[in-house]
Amino acid sequence: MGSSSTFNFTILLLPLIVGSLMAASASNFNQDFDITWGDGRGKIINNGEVLTLNLDKASGSGFQSRNEYLYGKIDMQLKLVPGNSAGTVTAYYLSSKGSNWDEIDFEFLGNLSGDPYILHTNVFSQGKGNREQQFYLWFDPTADFHTYSILWNPQRIIFSVDGTPIREFKNMESKGVPFPKNQPMRIYSSLWNADDWATRGGLVKTDWSQAPFTASYRNFKADACVWSNGASSCKSNSPSSASNNNAWFSQELDSTSQQRLQWVQKNYMIYNYCTDAKRFPQGLPTECTMS
Ligand SMILES: *[C@@H]1O[C@H](CO)[C@@H](O)[C@H](O)[C@H]1NC(C)=O
């Protein structure tokens, strides 16, 4: 092909390329995620707008983000397995790799029809977790899509549901508590069978006559520092150099958000490792004893 026809070719393609970049910014699962397991049980549909995971007796399914992130505000809308979802778990989390991994977890434990899901959360830093907090939700998470967000900046990790903070994990490195800060993480999600523990501690088993079980995802949004080839897309890890739309980088809970958080913790929290003194006979973890 001569150079002039290459030139023409480029001119013709340019609008298409620009068009596809614009579509990508409006959340396209084809662009941002790969279905990683489940042999066809995970699907991207509606031109990339919706992703569904399925679980049947033979297998669950899962996906992961193409990008790795080192700090960000990441929103995803999920609609959980409806009806009798007992025994099923939908996990949605950020994780790095290796034996000293960092991880920020949402896990949704299914239940019998009409009985409440449990939203289970955890934070791992350098391979150590054991920081579970569990909640009921103030709505039926199977009736519609709801937004589950992770804000991860150098000072704190905030878990939110429809914009209401449910949990904050502060950076307490100064007290000797490791904080996730230098291992980039990918987004992962999976739907699988965990009827040995998930529902009422494993008492209620998965009813396979209800299979396939389906969880759906849409409206992914990441305001985040993308990590690639050893470098961050954010200029530096200092807020001053972060651009205007990077308010999340230094975001903290304002007083209204603090009140919302307390409302959730008072009315919907069903387990908090920080109040489980029996579990920690040598004393509660350090981060629990500092406010
Ligand atoms: C399921 O429902 C029971 C009864 O309301 C409740 O005790 C339990 O916490 C619920 N959630 C799970 C995941 O077991």
pLDDT, tens only, 65-75:
999 999 999 99
253 contacts 157 by C-beta, under 8 angstroms: no
Does residue 267 surpass a pLDDT of 50?
A: yes
Catalytic annotation, residues:
103, 107
Task: Choose one of 90, 106, 109, 111 to mutate for the ligand 1 pocket test, by most ligand atoms within 8 angstroms of C-beta.
Answer: 111
Q: Is the CB of 119 under 6 A from ligand 1?
A: no
Q: Is the CB of 116 under 6 A from ligand 1?
A: yes
pLDDT band, residue 290 (cuts 50/70/90)? confident
The pTM of this model reads 0.89
Q: Is the CB of 123 under 6 A from ligand 1?
A: no
CA–centroid distance, 115 to ligand 1, in Å, is 6
Domain membership of residue 16 (yes or no) is no
Q: Please state the domain count of the chain.
A: 1
Does residue 275 surpass a pLDDT of 50?
A: yes
CA–centroid distance, 117 to ligand 1, in Å, is 7
Domain membership of residue 17 (yes or no) is no
**Where in the sequence is the domain holding 167, given as residue range(s)?**
27-289
Element (DSSP H or E) covering residue 149: strand 146-152
CA–centroid distance, 55 to ligand 1, in Å, is 21
Q: Is the CB of 271 under 6 A from ligand 1?
A: no
Q: Tokens representing 133?
A: 């907090």
Q: Could you report the per-residue pLDDT of 195-243, keeping only the tens digit for each?
A: 999 999 999 999 999 999 999 999 999 999 999 999 999 976 555 544 5
Classify 182 as helix, strand or coil.
coil
| C-alpha 207: how far from chain center | 27
Domain membership of residue 1 (yes or no) is no
Domain membership of residue 4 (yes or no) is no
Domain membership of residue 250 (yes or no) is yes
Q: Is the CB of 136 under 6 A from ligand 1?
A: no
Q: Is the CB of 115 under 6 A from ligand 1?
A: yes
Segment 140-166 shows an average pLDDT of 98
Domain membership of residue 72 (yes or no) is yes
Domain membership of residue 18 (yes or no) is no
Going by CA atoms, what residue is nearest to atom 8 of ligand 1? 200
Query: Distances from the Cα of 16 to the Cαs of 9, 12, 32, in angstroms?
Result: 11, 8, 18
Q: Residue 71's domain is classified under what CATH number?
A: 2.60.120.200
Domain membership of residue 21 (yes or no) is no
CA–centroid distance, 203 to ligand 1, in Å, is 10
Segment 4-15 shows an average pLDDT of 45
pLDDT band, residue 17 (cuts 50/70/90)? very low
Nearest by Cα to 74 from 244, 233, 224, 217? 224
State percent of the chain over pLDDT 70: 87
pLDDT score at 246: 85
Segment 75-79 shows an average pLDDT of 98
